[in-house]
């Protein structure tokens, strides 16, 4: 049996929260620690299940991993294992991030095809194509992606789409390749910038992070460092939308508001007051939100990870909204669960139309991914009665102490342990 949340409706969230390091960065930094023999230390790490999963992956490759509060110590041996075909790898999508570092360090990698959120297919075509441009041969074999190379050499690589995962695996292979690699149409997310900064601190020569063209001058060897993980903009955005959904007042710290420029701009369009500071922001929603349209796009566009939170806000807003999902074809699967709560939604391909302003009513609902789970919890906060959100192990993978932070802000959310009658 799995845990669930019992979410009591009628809450107005008010107070302050501080976000930890980004899930979408720390897991990739942990993987990149494979590039440097010795002990790498990461600080400001979130206390989430995926960090533990990645620790298991690295231990399976021969590393020693110590989790100490918000600090992770990774001791990488001179010779790492190359075969990441075991249960921990299949638990979550980010495990594929070891592909680039293993190809660079061992010249061979065998990585089980990963699992994770049910939000649509995320093939490895661009990962494989990028490594092949660097001189590797790749194939899918017995449920694993396999890469082999005698000598990595820099190349000019253009991605068909600014894939975050492909950008990361190409970067972490190219830093130890001979010569210069130019990666065009690269992902521009703040987590990519964090990875590039981390690699440069280790002794890599990466230029152009945060732009669509990244240039890598290969080096022979990298050294371990201590690095602070960038703040989690998706968790920060979740709290921003929680304030607007519940007509609340939340101050969020530990984040560069520039990483959420468009997200906060959408909240202003919905009628929220937004104040920004060097390391945070405040969102105040005193009146009913106004309907706003959304379309998800790669950074600096509206993030697909916040689309479920936007849908919850649209349900609480006066008027009609159209949300367009351009990244993952199955991300709307959770909308059926929103409809259980009384959300008036119509799905048409990669669009969903939300007619807001209706009183939501409690019902049992099921999470299909991390952000869908968070969206359902926030919708439950404005429903009448008690909403039970099932399969919250997804939420635990992305939000440290989610119910505790909600309760500190004035919500009533209880965790129902799976083995309870």
Contact 325, 296 (CB under 8 A): yes
12 annotated as belonging to a binding site for a ligand: no
Q: Report whether 37 contacts 222 (CB < 8 A).
A: no
Please, are residues 294 and 324 in contact by the beta-carbon 8 Å criterion?
yes
Other beta carbons within 10 angstroms of residue 16's beta carbon come to 14
Residue 375 Cα distances to 242, 355, 392, 402, angstroms? 9, 17, 12, 12
Q: What is the CA radius of gyration of the chain?
A: 21
DSSP notation for 159-220: -SS--HHHHHHHHHHHTTSBSEEEEES----HHHHHHHHHHHHTT-EEE-TTSSEEEEE--S
Helices (H), 61-163: 99-106, 125-133
As a whole number of angstroms, the longest Cα–Cα distance in the chain is 63
At 289, list the tokens. 């939100």
Q: How many Å apart are CA 113 and CA 57, to the nearest integer? A: 13
Please indicate if the annotation marks 2 as binding a ligand.
Answer: no
3-state helix, strand, coil split of the chain in percent (to 5) is 35, 30, 35
DSSP state at residue 331: G
Give Cβ neighbours of residue 333 (< 8 Å, ≥ 6 apart): 118, 119, 368, 372
Q: Active-site residue among 117, 194, 232, 396?
A: 117
The verdict on whether residue 327 carries a ligand-binding annotation is: yes
Is 70 annotated as belonging to a binding site?
no
Cα–Cα separations (whole angstroms), residue 165 to 11, 99, 162: 37, 10, 9
Q: How many CB atoms lie within 10 A of CB 79?
A: 10
The answer for 238, left when phi > 0, alpha when psi is -120 to 50, beta otherwise, is alpha
Whether residue 397 has a cis bond before it, omega within 30° of 0:
no
**256 among known catalytic residues:** no
CA distance 5 to 403: 8
What is the token pair recorded at 182? Answer: 């130019």
Confirm or deny that 197 is annotated as ligand binding: no
Helix (H, G, I), strand (E, B) or coil at 327: coil
Binding residues: 23-24, 93, 305, 327
Binding residues for phosphoenolpyruvate: 23-24
Active-site residues, by number, are 117
Binding residues for UDP-N-acetyl-alpha-D-glucosamine: 93, 305, 327
């Amino acid at each position: 049996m799995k845990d669930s949340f019992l979410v009591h409706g009628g809450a107005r969230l008010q107070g302050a929260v501080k976000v930890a390091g980004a899930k979408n960065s720390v897991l990739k930094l942990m993987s990149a620690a494979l590039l440097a023999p010795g002990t790498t230390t990461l600080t400001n790490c979130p206390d989430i299940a995926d960090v533990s999963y990645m620790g298991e992956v690295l231990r399976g490759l021969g590393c020693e991993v110590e989790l100490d509060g918000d600090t992770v110590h990774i001791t990488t041996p001179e010779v790492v294992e190359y075969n990441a075909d075991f249960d921990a790898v299949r638990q979550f999508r980010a495990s594929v991030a070891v592909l680039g570092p293993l190809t660079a360090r061992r010249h061979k990698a065998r990585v089980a095809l990963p699992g994770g959120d049910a939000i649509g297919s995320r093939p490895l075509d661009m990962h494989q194509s990028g490594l092949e441009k660097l001189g590797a041969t790749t194939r899918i074999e017995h449920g694993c992606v396999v890469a082999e190379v005698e000598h990595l050499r820099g190349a000019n690589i253009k991605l068909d789409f600014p894939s975050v995962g492909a950008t990361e695996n190409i970067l972490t292979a190219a830093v130890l390749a001979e010569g210069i690699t130019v990666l065009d149409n690269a992902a521009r997310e703040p987590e990519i910038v964090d990875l590039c900064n981390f690699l440069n601190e280790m002794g890599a020569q990466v230029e152009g992070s945060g732009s669509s063209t990244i240039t890598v001058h290969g080096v022979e060897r990298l050294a371990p460092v201590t690095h602070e993980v960038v703040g989690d903009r998706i968790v920060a955005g979740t709290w921003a939308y929680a304030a607007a959904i519940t007509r609340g007042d939340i101050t969020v710290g530990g984040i560069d508001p520039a990483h959420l420029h468009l997200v906060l701009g959408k909240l202003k369009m919905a009628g929220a007051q937004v104040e920004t500071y060097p390391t945070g922001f405040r969102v105040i929603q005193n009146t009913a939100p106004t309907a706003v349209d959304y379309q998800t796009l790669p950074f600096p566009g509206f993030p697909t990870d916040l689309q479920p939170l936007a849908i919850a806000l649209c349900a609480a807003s006066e008027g009609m909204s159209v949300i367009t999902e351009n990244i993952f074809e199955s991300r709307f699967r959770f909308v059926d669960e929103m409809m259980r709560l009384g959300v008036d939604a119509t799905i048409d391909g990669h669009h969903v139309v939300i007619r807001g302003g209706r009183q939501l009513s409690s019902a049992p609902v099921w999470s299909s991914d991390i952000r869908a789970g968070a969206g359902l919890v926030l919708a439950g906060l404005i429903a009448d009665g008690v909403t039970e959100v099932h399969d919250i192990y997804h939420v635990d993978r992305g939000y440290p102490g989610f119910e505790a932070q909600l309760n500190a802000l004035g919500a009533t959310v209880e965790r129902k342990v799976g083995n309870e009658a």
